[in-house]
């Protein structure tokens, strides 16, 4: 079920462009310049999307981005060593909208977490290494 859900996301993305622009982007791009879709790029680091926590999948596919979902996904990506640009591209591609809010919020969260290493309980996240929920400290 999850793979079918994200298969649509993979099919609808060319160069990180939401589905409305896919035909234009595909026609304009030469075959040799096509790059890996943002979701697959993140999967290369974290493993198959089907191994991700269900709550992350919900935030990436069924909810309109809000403060809570952005924090949740950003914490998951940040602590699991996904670079900020890759995280933003994946989030935007999965929700299907090009959102300046998502981009700015994720970048701000990464910056905050990087600059406050001694502050505790900034966000809860799921560690793909330890396979459990933890607190970003």
**pLDDT by position in tens, the chain (length 137):** 555 556 555 544 444 444 433 333 434 444 444 567 899 999 999 999 999 999 999 999 887 899 999 999 999 999 999 999 999 999 999 988 778 899 999 999 999 888 877 777 678 888 898 998 888 86
Q: Where do the structural domains in the chain lie, given as residue ranges? A: 2-136
Three-state SS across the chain? CHHHHHHHHHHCCECCECHHHHHHHHHHCCHHHCCCCHHHHHHHHHCCHHHCCHHHHHHHHCCCCCHHHHHHHHHHHHHCCCCHHHHHHHHHHHHCCCCHHHHHHHHHHHHHHHHCCCCCCCEEEEECCCCEEEEEC
């Amino acid at each position: 079920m999850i793979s079918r859900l994200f298969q649509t996301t993979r099919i609808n993305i060319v160069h990180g462009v939401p589905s409305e622009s896919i035909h234009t982007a595909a026609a304009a791009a030469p075959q040799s310049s096509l790059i890996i879709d943002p979701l697959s790029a993140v999967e290369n680091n974290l493993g198959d999307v089907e191994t991700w926590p269900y709550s992350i999948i919900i935030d990436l596919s069924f909810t309109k981005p809000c403060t809570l979902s952005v924090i949740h996904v950003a914490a998951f990506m940040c602590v699991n060593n996904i670079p900020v640009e890759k995280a933003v591209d994946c989030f935007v591609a999965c929700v299907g909208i090009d959102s300046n809010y998502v981009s700015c919020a994720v970048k701000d969260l990464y910056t905050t977490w990087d600059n406050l290493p001694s502050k505790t309980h900034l966000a809860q996240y799921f560690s793909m290494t330890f396979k459990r929920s933890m607190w970003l400290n």
